[in-house]
Amino acid sequence: MSTPQYETYGQAPFAPHEPYGGATAAVGHGGYEDPYRPAYDMAPAAGEYAAYAVGGETSAPGGPEYGGYAGQAEHDEYAGAGDDPALAEPAQDAAADVGAAPLLPRQAEGPRSAGRARARRAARRKRGGERPDGLRRLVPQALVVAFLAGGTSAFVANDKAIQLSVDGKSRTLHTFADDVGELLADEGVDVGAHDIVAPTAGTVLASGDEIAVRYGRPVRLTLDGKSRQVWTTARTVDGALRQLGVRAEGAYLSASRSKRIAREGLELDVRTERTVTVMADGRARTIRTNAATVHEAVEESGVTLRGSDTTSAAPDSFPRDGQTITVMRISGRKEVREEVIPFEVRKTEDASLLRGTEAVVQAGHTGARRVTYALRTVNGVKQRPRRIKSEVVREPQTRIVKVGTKAPPTTAVPGADGLDWGALASCESGGRPNAVDPSGTYGGLYQFDTRTWQALGGSGRPQDAPAAEQTHRAKKLYVQRGASPWPHCGKRL
């Protein structure tokens, strides 16, 4: 009879079956230690296992007590071959837990061996025998296997297959997380205030769920000249424009629509298409433009600005939708004019002069300045001259005048009060107190020369003194010299 082979259990193969007690056997069959043999204090006969084979019915030598396999009765009692179903269940669960491993040789016994095992168990019960030590060891092991089998079922039940998409990158993963927020935390996905998570973080997870995370990106958007910071979860410029509701047809974009937006964001300048009317040279031109400045819009209308030409709106301002821009044709020239600078008059008090008397210390002179004006004509209409430059070519000289504060003396002079001094003054000076002869030698009402005037107690020039003082000095002169100082008009006294 050929030597039978043990079947593979799980992943570890058993050694070939050899007769017990053979030349090379250590214990059991070919080095495989029989876990049930220690339950019996007896040694099996040589070659006890030789007749045992998978699916065979032949019992091994050594008698029906062992049923062809040492310790077979105890094995039956645990594995369910006997009549105790409570003990049979853990072994069955354990077999299921390890993935329905191939049956051990014991499971191939025929009805005759099973009958002998039952007979042996019945005999032991009558003798009041106790369970062998091997069985006592196997029962706790079976309970542990059963517990692990139940834990495996719970493990499988809690595992969920989830489709996670983060910023467009999708992957399938298995998780034990209870909700979306816990899953994202487990995966190290940080979500900020501007990011979108669908479904929300508190949503309970179930196997087969799909979760999408879209990161927010800052965009410094300048729309038609007005700048502001916005956030978008779009990954391209085109997607951001659609998300922000910006009408981009015919618009100028500082970046291409297909440009990807990085997490740190970008700056985007958008100028939408607007309607602008340009008035120039008596003609109106209406255009659609996305120009950045009024100057650009005017050039797009076909109007050229030359020289000093300008527009009604600032050339560098942003053109608004519906705006009318007027082009102003400017021609002009410069003109230089000389203008008079008037002199100032400064008066000072002088106690040596009679009250009412003024003496000019310094004569005043006008100055002159040269002024340059711009003369413009706008669309054929002359504008008011605009002064663009001024320079002084001659400084003015201030006139300085002394004003007397001294009280005038009495005009009474004995021996001269009864004369007609008015007639004399009219003859000499025409009655003018400030009169001066053509030679500049004589002045005043009575045409005094300066030396005679000062000899009579006057100061300064006679023509600068009050009329009353001049008359008083003339009376004093008459008392001294009579009418001789006035050879032609003295007879009128």
With the CA atoms of 327, 333, 338 and 344 taken in that order, what torsion angle do they form, in degrees rounded to the nearest 10? 20
Overall number of domains in the chain = 6
CATH number of the structural domain spanning residue 297: 3.10.20.90
Please check whether residues 267 and 279 belong to one and the same domain.
Answer: no
Please check whether residues 92 and 56 belong to one and the same domain.
Answer: yes
Which domain covers residue 345, as residue numbers?
333-402
Give per-residue pLDDT as tens, 64-76.
333 333 333 333 3
Radius of gyration of the chain (CA): 67
Query: Dihedral of CA 437/439/443/447: which sign?
Result: negative
Give per-residue pLDDT as tens, 443-488.
999 999 999 999 998 888 999 888 888 998 999 999 999 999 999 9
Structure tokens at 84: 């105790």
pTM of structure: 0.40
- Upstream peptide bond of 466 is cis (omega within 30 degrees of 0): no
**Locus of tokens 């310790």:** 71
* Residue 18 confidence (pLDDT) above 60: no
CB 220 within 8 A of CB 244: no
Alpha-carbon distance 402 to 249, whole Å? 85
Within a domain: residue 240? yes
Give per-residue pLDDT as tens, 98-152.
333 333 333 333 444 444 445 555 554 544 444 445 545 554 555 545 445 555 5
Please check whether residues 428 and 342 belong to one and the same domain.
Answer: no
Please check whether residues 146 and 42 belong to one and the same domain.
Answer: yes
For the segment 410-425, the average pLDDT, to the nearest whole number, is: 83
Alpha-carbon distance 419 to 415, whole Å? 9
Neighbours of 171 (CB within 10 A): 10
Query: Cβ contacts of residue 182 below 8 Å, gap of 6+?
Result: none
Please check whether residues 282 and 232 belong to one and the same domain.
Answer: no
Could you say which of 118, 153, 188 is where a domain stops?
153
Neighbours of 40 (CB within 10 A): 16
Could you say which of 153, 170, 189 is where a domain stops?
153
Alpha-carbon distance 50 to 1, whole Å? 8
Please check whether residues 208 and 235 belong to one and the same domain.
Answer: no
Within a domain: residue 78? yes
Structure tokens at 470: 């001049």
Alpha helix segments (H runs only) across 277-345: 294-300
Please check whether residues 203 and 289 belong to one and the same domain.
Answer: no
Please check whether residues 64 and 138 belong to one and the same domain.
Answer: yes
| Backbone region of residue 10 per phi and psi (left: phi > 0; alpha: psi in -120 to 50; beta: other values) | left
Closest CA to 312 of 300, 295, 296, 299: 295
Kindly state the helix (H) or strand (E) to which residue 164 belongs, with its residue range: strand 160-166
Kindly state the helix (H) or strand (E) to which residue 478 belongs, with its residue range: helix 467-481
Question: Strands 399-406 and 345-354, how do they pair?
Answer: parallel
Among 44-48, 416-420, 440-444, the range scoring the smallest mean pLDDT is 44-48
Please check whether residues 432 and 413 belong to one and the same domain.
Answer: yes
Alpha-carbon distance 32 to 289, whole Å? 94
- Separation of first and last alpha carbons in the chain: 195
Grade residue 3 by pLDDT with cuts at 50, 70 and 90.
very low
For the segment 155-183, the average pLDDT, to the nearest whole number, is: 88
Within a domain: residue 16? no
